[in-house]
Structure 1
Amino acid sequence: MATIPGTTRTALQSFQALRRLHNNPGAHTGRNQLAVLLSRPYTPARRFLHNGRPQNAQSEAAKNNSSNPALSFPCLDAQDAKSALLSARSLESGPEPSYTTGHHEQYRCKEPLLLDWGGVLPEFDIAYESWGQLNPEKSNAILLHTGLSASSHAHSTDANPKPGWWEKFIGPGKPLDTDKYFIICTNVIGGCYGSTGPSSVDPSDGKRYATRFPILTIEDMVRAQFRLLDGLGVHKLYASVGSSMGGMQSLAAGVLFPERIGKIVSISGCARSHPYSIAMRHTQRQVLMMDPKWARGFYYDSIPPHSGMKLAREIATVTYRSGPEWEMRFGRKRADPSKQPALCPDFLIETYLDHAGEKFCLEYDPNSLLYVSKAMDLFDLGHAHQTDTKKRRADYEANLALGNDTVNTDVTCSLTLPEKPYEEQPSVTASTPAMDQSLSGASSPDAPPQDLVAGMTGLKNHPVLVMGVASDILFPAWQQREIAQTLRAAGNEKVQHIELGEDVSMFGHDTFLLDLKNIGGAVEKFLS
C-alpha cells in the first residue's frame, strides 16, 4: 500500500469498511457495524500554528479541560480517509473513474456543432445503445431521452447484460415494445458516459476541456442527437419519449424538428424551468463548487471533489422522492436509539441520504453535473426566448462565415454580484403575474402564458402524451398541466394529460423509474 502522509492505517481501514457497507444492499442495517468501525480514533496530520505550537495540542488541551467530552465525527473521518485513499490511487492509476456503464456504441460527428450560447464543438462523440430492429422504411424508431445523470444504458444488451435504468419498460411486449419499435437512447453531450463533455479531450490542444467546455442548452443536446439520427439514416421518428430532463428534451425535439417527429411523450417534465427547481439545482452546484478539490473544474489529475458531489447528490435525492413516502419508510426512527444522538447521520432518513450521496459521488463527473444541470435551468420554450436564441445563433453563424474560430466574442464572464442584497419589493411583486399565470390579460387565471402558447404552436398537429405525479416536488404536477393547457391553447386537439394522485404513487419525481403499471401502461397505450 502506498504511504499516505497525515493518514493512519486505521482511517483507511475505516473507509474500506464504509465502502463495503455502502455497496451492500443492506447498508442501512449495517450502520451499527459502521459506527463501531469508524469510532476508532482518526489521527490527521499535525498542523503547526505560527508560534510553532502544534494545533492538535491546543485542541487536545481544550478537550481535556472541558466539562463534557468532545463529540466524534466518523462521517468526516470517512471523507478524510476517502481523500487519502484517492490520493494513493492517483499515484498508481489516477483517481478518475471511467464513468461508463459498460459497452455502448459510439457515433463520432466530424462536423462542428454550434451551441446556443456561442460555443463550438469542433467534433463530438455521442454514446448510444439500441434495442429492436429498424424496419426497411426506417419508420419505427423511437428516441428515448434520459434524465440528468443517466447513461445510454436504458436496458441490458448481449454486450452489456447489466440492467438498465428503464429495464422493465423496454423489451418484447413491454411499453417500448422491441418487437414493434427500434429504440435508441443516447448519453447527452455534456455528460460523462461516453458522449463529449467536460471530461473529454479538446482536439485543439489534447487536454481535457474541464471548465473550458462551453455552456450548453437542452436544445444543443437535441441537435447533437439528431446528428446521430442523420448518421443512422433515420429521417423521421415514430416517437420522442422522455422523463424528467428527458421530458424537456422530448418537447424541445418537437419544437426544433417538428417535421421529423410523429408522437411525443413528456413525463414529469416542463415547458420551461421554474424558480424552485432552478433554486434546488443552484444549491447542488454551489456545494460542489465550494469543495476546495473542485479547483475551478481542473481536478482531473488530482483528487475529485467527492465531498461536494456527495452533498449535491443528497440535496438532489431530497427532491426526487416525497415526504409521505419517507414518513412510511423511515418515520422518526434513529439508526441506533440506544446511542447518544450524533451530529453525523443518526436518523434513518439521514443514513439513507448519506448512502445515496456516498454511492453516487464517484460515479458521475462533477463538471458534467454542473453543465447539464445549468442547461436544465436555461430551458424555456417561450416564443421570446426562442426568438432571442435564433438571433444570437444567426450572429454567431455570421461570425463563423467570416472565418472566426471563436464565435463567442464575449468569452470573459462579466457577471458580478449586486452591490446591494436582494430586497423584497411588495409593490412590484404584487402586480407581477406568477409564471403559471397568463400574461395576456385573459379572463381565466388558469390560461397559459401567450408567450409559451406562441412558442409551442409548432406542436399543434402532434399527438402528445403528458404525464405528471401529484407527489412530485421537483417538477410539480401543475407544470405538466401547464404543458397540456398550452398545447390545447395552441390548437392541439391530440393532447392526452394524465396525473397520478398521491393515492396512486407516493414515489415523487422518481415515479417514472418505478411505476411500470401506471407510467408504462399509459406509454404503451399511447404509442400503439
Structure 2
Amino acid sequence: MLSSASKLTIRAILRGGTTSARCAAVFTTTTTTTTTTTRLSSACLTLPAMHKSSFTRAGTRISAEDSLRIKHLEYRNQPTPTLPSGAATTSSSQAQGLPTTTAATTTAAGAAAGAVCHTPIAFPKNESQAARTNRDDAPTSNFKGFSASFPCMEKEAERRAAGGPEPMYDRVVSGYEVYHHKTPFQLYHGGVLPEFNIAYETWGTLNASKSNAILLHTGLSASSHAKSQAKNTNPGWWEAFIGPGCAIDTNKFFVMCTNVLGSCYGSTGPSCINPTTGEAYATHFPILTVQDMVRAQFHLLDHMGIQKLYASVGSSLGGMQSLTAAALHPSRVGKVVSISAAAMSHPLSIAMRHVQRRVLMADPHWNGGQYYKGIFPHFGMKVAREIGTISYRSGPEWEERFGRQRANPESSPNFCPDFLIETYLDHQGELFCLKYDPNSLLYISKAMDLFDLGQGFESLDAAFHRIDMPALVLGVESDILFPEWQQRQVANKLRTTGNQSVVYYQLDSIYGHDTFLIDVNSVGKAVKGHLENE
C-alpha cells in the first residue's frame, strides 16, 4: 500500500434528462503518484442517460461516464404518503427549494427511465418463511418494554456510596532521585512556583568529561521510570529500548529520564503541597507550557554539571520537549530525536484532549479540582482514559484484534461493555484511572494543546533555524493523534531553515501513536543508528 495516498470524497446529485428522480452517489477516490481508484459506495438501481459530466478536485479529474459502477445500494425517492383531502403539505424538496413532482409523476418518470427507487426489507438470512410469518403476526398489544439492567453503572454507584476507590498514584513509582530548586520559578503564562522538585532516574555511567549524557523526555502520563534499576526493579515504560547493546546503549551513554513538571510521580504538580498555603495546589497550580518543563530540566542539568547533552530524545509530548530543548539551548544539545511529535498541536488532537478534560471535570467528585480530601473522581478519570486510548491506537489494529466480536454472544445486547473493543477500553480505563492524578492530566494535556515551538521566538521558522544539530524524525502512518504529515512538516522545516543533517523515517505500523512504545525493532534501530552514527 502506498504511503502517500490521499482520499477524496465527492458527493454528487445525478440528474437524468427527462426524469425528476434523484439518487445520491458517494464516491471515494484514492489518488497516488501512480494510480487513481474511484469507487461508488451508493447509487440507485439504474440511472437515466447521464450527461458527460465530471468532477474535479485538487488536480484529480474523474469522469462520471467512465468511472461509475452502478450498484443497488441506496434509494432516495420514497412515495409520498397519502394525506386527507385539503391537508397542507410541504415536501422535503420544497423545503430545500428543489423542483417537486407528485408521487404518480415520479413513479411514471422512473418507470420510463427503467428505475423506481424503493427500500427493500432485509430479513435475517437464515430465517424461514414460517418464522417470519410467526414473528410478524405475533401480538404486540401487551408488550410493556424490556427489563433493563446496568450492572456497570450499579457497580460505580456502589463505589461512590462506599466513599470511592482510593487512588494510588503516590505509590506507583519509587527509587527515583529528586532535584530541589529552592528559588522562585517564573512560568511563561505569568504564574510563579516558590520552589519545585524534579524526579529523575539514571542508567549507565557519566564519563569524566560529562559529554555522554542523553536526556530522555517522557509522554503525558509517564514517570521517570523508563528502565528497571537497582532501586526499582519493576520494568520501565521503555524497558526494551535502554540497556547494554540496546537502542540507547548504556555501555556508551549515561541516560537520564525526568518526570515532567506538573506530574504526580515525584515532580512538583497540582497534588503537591503549596509551601505558601500548606494545602495541595490543586487547581491553584499555575498553567504550564512545554517550554516551562524544559527550562526546569535544564536547571537539573546545571545542578549535575552537564554543560552539553550528547542527545535529547523524546516521543509524543517527549518529542515536543526534545525539539524545544534543541531550540532553547542549541549550544547544549548535540543531537535531537523527535518521535510522533509536532511543532504545534493541531485541532484534532486539541479536540481529543479537550473532551477528555471535559468528561473528567463533569464528574461531580472532581469538585473544581478540590478532591484530595474528598472522593476521588474515579468515573470521570476512567472515561477520560478510555477516550485517550482511542486516540493512542488505530482502527486496523482493533479490526485485527477484536473485529465485531461480542464478549458474550449468547447474552442479550446491553448498554454496558458488550463488544470486545468496549471491554478493552473499559479495562484500560480502570487500569489507569487510579494510578494518575486527574489534575495532572488537566495541566499537562493543556500544555500539549498550548504547544507552539515558535513560542518565545520571532517565528516558527526562527525556532527551527536554531535546531542545527543532527536530527532524527520518526512518524507513523496509522497515528491519528500526531499524524505522520506533522512529522514530515518537522523534517521539512528543519531542512528549509538550514539543517543539513535531517533523517526522516515513516513507519508502516498498525499500532498508531503507541508505536513508539511497542515497535522495538523499527523504532529502536532508527534511534540506535542515529545516536551511534558519528
Where 1:207 maps in the other structure, the secondary structure is coil
Distance 1:369 1:494 in 2: 36
* In 2, Cα distance between equivalents of 1:82 and 1:494: 55
CA distance in structure 2 between the partners assigned to 1:457 and 1:464 by the alignment: 12
Which residue of 76, 80, 98 corresponds with 2:157?
Answer: 80
Aligned to 2:315: 243
Three-state SS of the structure 2 residue aligned to 1:134 is coil
Instruction: State the alpha-carbon separation in 2 of the partners of residues 166 and 230 from structure 1.
Output: 25
Write the distance in 2 (CA, Å) between the matches of 1:85 and 1:257: 51
> Does the CA contact (< 8 Å) of 1:170 and 1:178 recur in 2?
yes
Which residue matches 2:480? Answer: 473
Higher relative contact order (CA 8 A, sep 6+): 1
Check if 1:187 corresponds to 2:195: no
Aligned counterpart, 1:282 = 354
More helix by percentage: 1
Partner of 1:168: 240
Match of 2:418 among 312, 332, 346: 346
- CA separation of 1:226 and 1:237: change in aligned 2, threshold 3 A: same
Alignment match of 1:500 (pick from 499, 504, 507): 507
Q: Aligned pair 1:386/2:456, yes or no?
A: yes
List aligned pairs for 1:179-258, cutoff 5 A. Answer: 179-258=251-330
Task: Report the equivalent of 1:71.
Answer: 148
Count, aligned residues: 391
Deviation track 1:481-516 (CA, whole Å, cap 9, x = no partner) reads: 000000111011100000012xxx100000000111
TM-score by length of 1: 0.73
Secondary structure (helix, strand or coil) at the match of 2:183 reads: coil
Q: 1:260 and 1:173 mapped to 2: Cα distance?
A: 26
Taking the aligned partners of 2:384 and 2:230, their CA distance within structure 1 comes to 34
CA-CA distance at 1:86 after TM superposition: 4.0
1:295 aligns to 2:367 (yes or no): yes
**Separation in structure 2 between the aligned mates of residue 225 and residue 95 of structure 1, nearest angstrom:** 27
Matched position secondary structure for 1:179: coil
1:26-65 superposed matches below 5 A: none
Question: Is contact 1:95-1:302 (8 Å) kept?
Answer: no
2:514 matched to 1:514?
A: no
Please report how far the alpha carbon of residue 99 of structure 1 lies from its aligned counterpart in structure 2 after TM superposition: 4.7
Distance 2:204 2:482 in 1: 31
* C-alpha contact (below 8 Å) 1:99/1:364 kept by paired residues: no
Q: Is residue 210–residue 367 contact of structure 1 (8 Å, CA) maintained in 2?
A: yes
| Residues 160-201 of structure 1: per-residue CA shift (max 9 Å, x gap) | 000000000000000110000000001101000010000000
Q: CA–CA distance in 1 between the matches of 2:238 and 2:451?
A: 24
Seen in structure 2, the aligned counterparts of structure 1 residues 360 and 152 have a Cα distance that, compared at 3 Å, is: same
Aligned partner letter, 1:522: A
Query: How far apart are the structure 2 equivalents of 1:309 and 1:66?
Result: 39
Task: Say which of 487, 492, 497 aligns to 2:494.
Answer: 487
CA shift at 1:79, angstroms? 1.4
Select the structure of larger CA radius of gyration.
2
- Percent identity, please: 61
CA RMSD of aligned residues (A): 1.4
Query: Which segments of 5 or more consecutive residues in structure 2 lack a partner in the other structure?
Result: 1-141
- State the 1:452 CA deviation: 2.5
Structure 2 counterpart of 1:521, one-letter code: K
Separation in 2, partners of 1:517, 1:95: 35
Question: Could you say what secondary structure the match of 1:155 adopts?
Answer: coil
Match of 1:364 among 436, 440, 455: 436
Tell which deviates more after alignment, 104-113 or 206-215. Answer: 104-113
Q: Does 1:332 align with 2:336?
A: no
Q: Following the alignment from structure 1 to structure 2, what is the Cα–Cα distance between the partners of residues 151 and 83?
A: 28
Q: CA deviation at 1:455?
A: 2.6
State yes or no: 1:143 paired with 2:215: yes
Name the counterpart of 1:33.
Answer: none
Q: Which amino acid aligns with 1:498?
A: Y
Which residue of structure 2 aligns with residue 435 of structure 1? none
* Deviations, residues 258-315 of structure 1 (Å, cap 9, x unaligned): 1110000000000111111000000000000111000000000011111000010000
Secondary structure at 2:172 match in 1 = coil
Displacement of 1:69: 3.6
Does the Cα contact within 8 Å between 1:99 and 1:365 map onto a contact in 2?
Answer: no
- Equivalent position to 2:464, from 441, 456, 463: 456
